[in-house]
Amino acid sequence: MDLKGKRLLNYLTTVCVRKRFHQTYARLQRMRGQQSGCSEDVKEMLLLLLSYFDEKEESMFFHVDDTCLAEEVELGQVPLTPTIIVCGQSCYSSTRYMLSLDQNLVNTNISSFISALWLMFGSYYCFNIHYPSELASTLEFLQRSPCRLLDLRTFTGPADGTGTSTVPGRHQGHKGSPPGLQESQESDSAHSQIQQTTWRPRTSREDSM
């Protein structure tokens, strides 16, 4: 993660030239301040990916006060899909996270952002939940990137081996990796091997068969 995540961060912060993206980057730098480390890089990488793909942070994160108790979370306003609840004004200032699923809290005391991210991905896989269209590009990139930013082979699917990389409402390869990043990524053969061994969420088409 230290090498490959920094490679992606370097691309996002030096190659992407859209004005809106650079405004997001400047805002994140102010929020991050002098904080450093792998966890802070993961936060920045994920938030920049959401901005790159024009997807909203609110679809993945739900913010509450840093002193908020589990019973005080307004679950009616939380998305139905797996959502990271950030206890604090931002991911950078928060020291505690929660995870919700179907507007129910399934974990109320997560101390690490990376752990919260893994638990969110694990919920999609373990419960066979479709990626929401408003987050599909970011989640697909993290899942399919040859950089193996997240090694999703950790999660196993149904015994019959069902599952696919295509998400509802998106054709395979939609948007994909940022252009120019491919040169610094691993070989296509390694990517193919990951796709063959990684279980992925089912699609609406498969469910109707």
- Alpha-carbon distance of 26 to 19, in angstroms, equals 11
109: tokens are 């005391």
| Residue 207: inside a domain | no
Which pLDDT tens digits describe the chain residue by residue (209 residues)?
Answer: 555 666 666 666 666 656 566 666 666 666 666 555 456 778 878 888 888 888 988 999 999 998 999 999 999 999 999 999 999 888 887 889 999 999 999 999 999 888 999 899 889 989 999 999 999 999 988 887 644 545 544 444 433 333 333 333 333 333 444 444 444 344 343 334 333 333 445 444 445 45
* Predicted structure pTM score: 0.63
Residue 27 lies in a domain: yes
**H-assigned helices in 15-173:** 19-32, 38-52, 113-126, 136-144
Q: Give 102's contacts (C-beta < 8 A, 6+ positions apart).
A: 80
In the chain, the number of structural domains is 1
Rg of the chain in Å (alpha carbons): 17
d(CA 91, CA 93): 6
CB 146 within 8 A of CB 194: yes
Structural domain that includes position 58:
2-202
Q: What are phi and psi of 84, to 5 degrees?
A: -85, 120
Spatial neighbors of 76 by CB under 8 A, at least 6 apart, are 103
In a domain, 208, yes or no: no
Rounded CA separation 112/121 (Å): 14
Residue 40, domain member (yes or no): yes
Instruction: Please state, in angstroms and rounded to a whole number, the distance separating the CA atoms of residues 51 and 98.
Output: 23
* DSSP reduced 3-state for 109: strand
